[in-house]
């Protein structure tokens, strides 16, 4: 049941949203917020147990939700998520390509081919395969919104994260290309580019030898004008705005949610 106190700009009543990487972090939180605002959800993640936990929570609160175990590096799985939305809810209004992984922090010359390829299988192919099948449906419908989760590493350099930065730059490039190509079909495509945010990807990041996780986070925060890391809720608020049915003239953007880092 939709919360009737919600501002109309963030009213997603009846909208059908597909979200990858929905078992935790941004994916789980944006699923909860969209569901609370009336959306019907199709969720996917490779983490089956985590995904089931999110589904149970949403179902208990009255949200209509379908879910499937999804490896976004598989085009078959990405296509199946889109098909699941159409079969159960009849359309696809919003797609959030959120699933992603981070590599260990390494100097450029120490990155091996396996790590580089894994980044591109998940972080690049996962977005490409999702968009390929989402765009096909949205073009036919004559409407739709796609939001890709990139990173500040996709807008600038990221020391000790060369393979991740390369992958996230690819996400921004695909976002802008699709936005231009599909604008005439009333399909909007944007990306969100967070700075370090306290999701499991960051909190579980391995600190360099001799350092604690708190010290690592303090190092990250020192590079931000606000002198802190982001909160997941702050990023998800921006995600909701980019997906809003009212934001009809915004496409092709890579929005930095970064506490001012990009203003340097």
CB 42 within 8 A of CB 48: no
DSSP code string of 100-150: ---PPP--GGG--HHHHHHHIIIIIHHHHHHHHHHHHHHHHHT-EEEEEE-
Of 194, 258, 254, which is closest to residue 225 (Cα–Cα)? 258
How far is 213 from 196, CA to CA, in rounded Å? 13
Model's pTM, two decimal places? 0.94
How far is 73 from 22, CA to CA, in rounded Å? 15
How far is 125 from 46, CA to CA, in rounded Å? 15
pLDDT tens readout for residues 8-24: 899 999 999 999 999 99
User: Which of the listed CATH numbers 1.20.1250.20, 3.40.50.720, 3.40.50.10800, 1.10.1530.10 matches domain 8-194+232-253?
Assistant: 3.40.50.720
pLDDT tens readout for residues 15-73: 999 999 999 999 999 999 999 999 999 999 999 999 999 999 999 999 999 999 999 99
Of 200, 206, 195, 187, which is closest to residue 168 (Cα–Cα)? 195
- The one catalytic residue among 164, 182, 249, 264: 164
How far is 172 from 154, CA to CA, in rounded Å? 7
CATH 3.40.50.720, the chain: domain bounds = 8-194+232-253
pLDDT tens readout for residues 137-166: 999 999 999 999 999 999 999 998 999 999
Tell me if residue 164 is catalytic: yes
């Amino acid at each position: 049941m939709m919360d009737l106190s919600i501002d109309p700009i963030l009213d997603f009543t009846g909208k059908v949203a597909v979200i990858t990487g929905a078992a935790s972090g941004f994916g789980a939180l944006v699923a909860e917020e969209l569901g609370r605002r009336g959306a019907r959800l199709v969720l996917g993640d490779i983490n089956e147990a985590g995904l089931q936990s999110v589904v149970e929570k949403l179902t208990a609160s009255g949200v209509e939700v379908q879910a499937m175990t999804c490896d976004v590096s598989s085009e078959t799985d990405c296509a199946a998520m889109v098909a699941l939305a159409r079969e159960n809810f009849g359309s696809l209004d919003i797609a959030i390509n959120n699933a992603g992984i981070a590599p260990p922090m390494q100097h450029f010359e120490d990155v091996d081919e396996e790590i580089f390829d894994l980044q591109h299988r998940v972080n690049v192919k996962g977005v490409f395969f999702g968009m390929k099948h989402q765009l096909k449906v949205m073009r036919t419908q004559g409407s739709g919104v796609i939001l890709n989760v990139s990173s500040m590493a996709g807008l600038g350099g990221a020391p000790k994260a060369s393979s991740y930065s390369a992958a996230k730059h690819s996400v921004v490039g695909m976002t802008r290309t699709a936005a231009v190509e599909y604008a005439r079909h009333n399909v909007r495509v944007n990306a969100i580019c967070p700075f370090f945010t306290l999701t499991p990807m960051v909190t579980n990041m391995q600190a360099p030898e001799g350092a604690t996780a708190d010290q690592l986070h303090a190092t990250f925060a020192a590079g931000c004008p606000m002198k802190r890391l982001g909160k997941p809720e702050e990023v998800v608020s921006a995600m909701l705005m980019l997906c809003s049915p009212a934001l009809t003239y915004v496409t092709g953007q890579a929005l930095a949610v970064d506490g001012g880092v990009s203003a340097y």
